[in-house]
Amino acid sequence: MKLLEVKNLTKAFGGLKAVNNVSFTVEKGEILGLIGPNGSGKTTTFNCINQFYPITSGDILFKGKSISALKTYEICKLGIGRTFQVVKPLARMTVLENVTASAFCRVASIKGAKEVASEVLQFCNLWKDKDKLAKSLPIGGRKRLEIARALATRPDLLLLDETAAGLNPSELDEAIDLIIKMRESGITILIVEHIMKVIMTISDRIHAINFGQTIAEGTPEQVANNPAVIEAYLGEEYAQG
């Protein structure tokens, strides 16, 4: 079943088409990786999906219905959670308060919201930090807090924007485990990630873009061997290395 359909999505900032006629679908239950070099339009795609930015043209369907005229908070209520690449912690609230605030998306009572929050914090291995202020967390903790907050809204589809960037190797393994656990709990995932180890091991399929346009789509192997991808993406990595 198609959970999310992005159809001919275009997003222009002035003259710059950050996303240019991109189409892809996310099937229920899968992990779809979205890759592309810096500035290729991945974050912009996310921002269009949850209407953080209004789209220029094209359409986005969730569970078969267009969501491109909805407000950001309505899209969250419909079941799309997201994390921010540049983390946005509710800095002067505790970790528990951060997650409780988002748990109110599904439950009205404070008791219920706190229950959901504690469950999610344990799931994300943040329980021990629950009483710390969000701003006092190290980057790994903040990235996990982003995920925890999104999870507390009980999403069917989760958009993860570089939640593994900046993590040390052991945190990275934890992050991969967490993503796999989330998928096992029935959440469909659309993930943006630069770290090849992560994206190649966990994605069922990968959609690659460059300069806002699709350059390849397929299994991780197919995409990794695609000449356009190697040139645009891996080529850049080799050049750097």
Partner 1 sequence: MKKNVILAILGIVFLAFPLVIKSDYYQHLIIIALMWVVIGSSWNLLAGYTGQVSFGHAIFFGIGAYTAGILFSKLGISPWWGMLAGGISAMLIGLFVGWVCFRLRGPYFALATLAGGEIFRLIATNWESLTEGMVGILIIPSFESKLPYYYIALLLAAGCIFAIHLIMQSKWGYYFVSIRENQDAAESLGINTTLYKNVSLLVSSLFTGMAGAFYMNYMGFIDPQVVFSLHYISIMSILVGIVGGVATIMGPAVGAFVMVGVQETFRSAFFGMAPQWISEAHALVFGLLVIFVIMFLANGIVGDWGKIKRNVFRIKASS
Ligand X SMILES: Nc1ncnc2c1ncn2[C@@H]1O[C@H](COP(=O)(O)OP(=O)(O)OP(=O)(O)O)[C@@H](O)[C@H]1O
**Binding-site ranges for partner 1 (CB under 8 A):** 50, 52, 71-73, 76-77, 82, 84, 88-93, 97, 100-102, 104-105, 108, 110, 113, 149-150, 153
Q: Which stretch binds Mg ion (CB under 5 A): 16-24, 81-89, 107-115, 146-154?
A: 81-89
Distance, in Å, from the CA atom of 137 to the CA atom of 149, rounded to the nearest integer, reads 14
Instruction: Identify which of residues 38 and 185 has a Cβ nearer to ligand X in the complex.
Output: 38
Question: HSE-up of 215 (CA within 13 Å, CB side)?
Answer: 23
Cα 223 to Cα 24, 34, 216, 219: the distances in Å are: 15, 11, 6, 6
* 3-state class (DSSP) for residue 32: strand
Q: Which of Mg ion, ligand X, partner 1, none lies near 203, with the C-beta cut-off 5 to 8 A by kind?
A: none
For residue 213, what are its two tokens? Answer: 């346009």
Q: Which of Mg ion, ligand X, partner 1, none lies near 76, with the C-beta cut-off 5 to 8 A by kind?
A: partner 1
Instruction: Identify which of residues 210 and 226 has a Cβ nearer to ligand X in the complex.
Output: 210
Smallest gap from Cβ 89 to partner 1, in A, equals: 8
Q: Which stretch binds Mg ion (CB under 5 A): 17-25, 34-42, 146-154, 217-225?
A: 34-42
Query: Where in 34-93 is the site for ligand X (CB under 6 A)?
Result: 36, 38-44, 85
Contact 51, 68 (CB under 8 A): yes
Q: Would you say the C-alpha torsion 165, 168, 172, 175 has a positive or negative sign?
A: negative
Q: Does 154 bind ligand X (CB under 6 A)?
A: no
Q: Would you say the C-alpha torsion 211, 67, 186, 23 has a positive or negative sign?
A: negative
Distance, in Å, from the CA atom of 178 to the CA atom of 193, rounded to the nearest integer, reads 15
Q: Which of ligand X, Mg ion, partner 1, none lies near 123, with the C-beta cut-off 5 to 8 A by kind?
A: none
Contact 149, 82 (CB under 8 A): no
Smallest gap from Cβ 47 to ligand X, in A, equals: 7
Q: List residues binding Mg ion (CB under 5 A).
A: 42-43, 85
Q: List residues binding ligand X (CB under 6 A).
A: 13, 18, 36, 38-44, 85
